[in-house]
C-alpha cells in the first residue's frame, strides 16, 4: 500500500506541477470566501481516485474534494489531493499530495509528497518514517521556551478568532511560531525536526492522516485532547518531553468549530 500510495502521489504531483506552470485561478470557494478550491484540486483527486480504484477495487476512499466511499475490503484511503491550496494559488512551493491507507480504522501507510519542494515523506506503521528515503527522528528539545512550533488556521471567521485567541497564550511561551500553510507538511516538518512541534485545531482527516503517521513513526507523541487520540478537535505532534506542556496550554479552549 505504501508503494502504491507513493506511485499515485507522484503521478498527482506531476499533474499539479504541470498545471502550476500555467495560470492557476481560484475556481470557487467552499466553506468561506477564504476557503478556495482550484480545478487542479479536483483533477488531482479524480486522478488519485481512479488510480486507487484500478489497483484496489474494493477499497474505500475519503477525499477532501468529495470522495466518500466506505468500500468493502476494510481498507480505506484518505486523500488530500492538494494540501496547501492557498500556497499553490500564490505559487509558494509549500503544497503537497497527501495519501494515507487505513486498515480497520488504523492508518498503516502514509505519503506526503511535495514536488515543488523536492520533498517526500513516507511512513509505514511500525516501520519508521523517512524524508526522501532518509529515516527520521523528531526534535530532542525538552523545554517549550526553546521550541519552534508550527500551527495553522482554518477558514471560517469563528475558527480563526478562536485560533488567534489560543495563539496569544502560546506565543509568549515558545521560541517562535511558524504558519507554513499545509498541515501534512507541518507534520512532516515536525517529524524531521525542522520545527520542534506542531498543533492545530479543527483539521479534517485528509489534512492529518498521512502526516500524523509520519510524525508518530519519527518518535513524536501525536495525540489529541486529554489523552484521546487525534481528532478534528485537536492534533498535537511533539517530542514526548514537550507534549504535556503544549497540551495544557491548548486544552483550556472550547472545542473547535467545524467547517
Cell of 226: 486529554
- Residue 63 interacts with ligand IPD (CB under 6 A)? no
- Residue 102 interacts with ligand IPD (CB under 6 A)? no
The residue range among 5-13, 79-87, 121-129, 216-224 that interacts with ligand IPD, by the rule CB under 6 A, is 79-87
Cell of 191: 517529524
- Phi, psi angles (nearest 5°) of residue 256: -65, 140
Cell of 189: 516538518
Residue of this chain nearest to ligand IPD (CB atom): 152
Nearest approach, Cβ of residue 57 and ligand IPD (Å): 27
Nearest approach, Cβ of residue 91 and ligand IPD (Å): 14
Residues between 192 and 211 that touch ligand IPD (CB under 6 A): 200, 203, 207
Question: Do you know the residue count of the chain?
Answer: 259
Q: Which of 13, 154, 193, 239 binds ligand IPD (CB under 6 A)?
A: 154
CA distances 227 to 54, 173, 183, 212, 222, Å, are 39, 22, 21, 16, 10
- Residue 94 interacts with ligand IPD (CB under 6 A)? no
CA distances 214 to 33, 39, 192, 211, 233, Å, are 31, 28, 9, 5, 20
Give the binding site for ligand IPD (CB under 6 A): 64, 80, 83-85, 152-154, 181-183, 200, 203, 207
Amino acid at each position: 500500500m505504501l508503494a502504491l500510495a507513493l506511485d499515485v502521489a507522484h503521478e498527482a504531483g506531476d499533474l499539479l506541477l504541470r498545471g502550476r506552470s500555467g495560470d492557476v485561478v481560484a475556481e470557487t470557494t467552499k466553506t468561506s470566501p477564504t476557503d478556495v478550491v482550484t480545478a487542479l484540486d479536483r483533477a488531482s483527486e479524480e486522478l488519485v481516485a481512479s488510480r486507487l480504484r484500478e489497483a484496489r477495487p474494493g477499497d474505500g476512499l475519503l477525499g477532501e474534494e468529495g470522495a466518500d466511499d466506505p468500500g468493502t475490503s476494510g481498507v480505506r484511503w484518505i486523500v488530500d489531493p492538494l494540501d496547501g491550496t492557498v500556497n499553490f494559488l500564490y505559487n509558494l512551493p509549500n503544497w503537497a499530495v497527501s495519501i494515507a491507507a487505513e486498515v480497520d480504522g488504523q492508518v498503516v501507510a502514509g505519503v506526503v509528497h511535495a514536488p515543488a519542494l523536492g520533498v517526500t515523506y513516507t511512513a509505514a506503521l511500525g516501520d519508521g518514517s523517512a524524508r526522501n528515503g532518509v529515516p527520521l527522528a523528531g526534535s530532542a528539545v525538552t523545554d517549550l521556551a526553546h521550541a519552534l512550533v508550527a500551527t495553522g488556521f482554518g477558514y471560517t471567521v469563528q475558527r480563526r478568532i478562536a485560533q488567534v485567541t489560543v495563539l496569544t497564550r502560546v506565543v509568549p511561551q515558545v521560541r517562535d511560531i511558524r504558519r507554513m500553510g499545509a498541515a501534512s507538511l507541518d507534520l512532516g516538518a515536525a517529524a524531521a525536526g525542522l520545527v520542534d512541534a506542531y498543533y492545530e485545531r479543527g483539521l479534517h482527516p485528509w489534512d492529518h492522516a498521512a502526516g500524523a503517521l509520519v510524525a508518530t513513526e519519527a518518535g513524536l507523541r501525536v495525540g489529541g485532547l486529554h489523552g484521546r487520540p487525534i481528532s478534528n478537535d485537536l492534533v498535537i505532534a511533539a517530542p514526548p518531553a514537550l507534549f504535556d506542556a503544549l497540551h495544557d496550554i491548548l486544552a483550556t479552549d472550547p472545542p473547535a468549530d467545524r467547517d
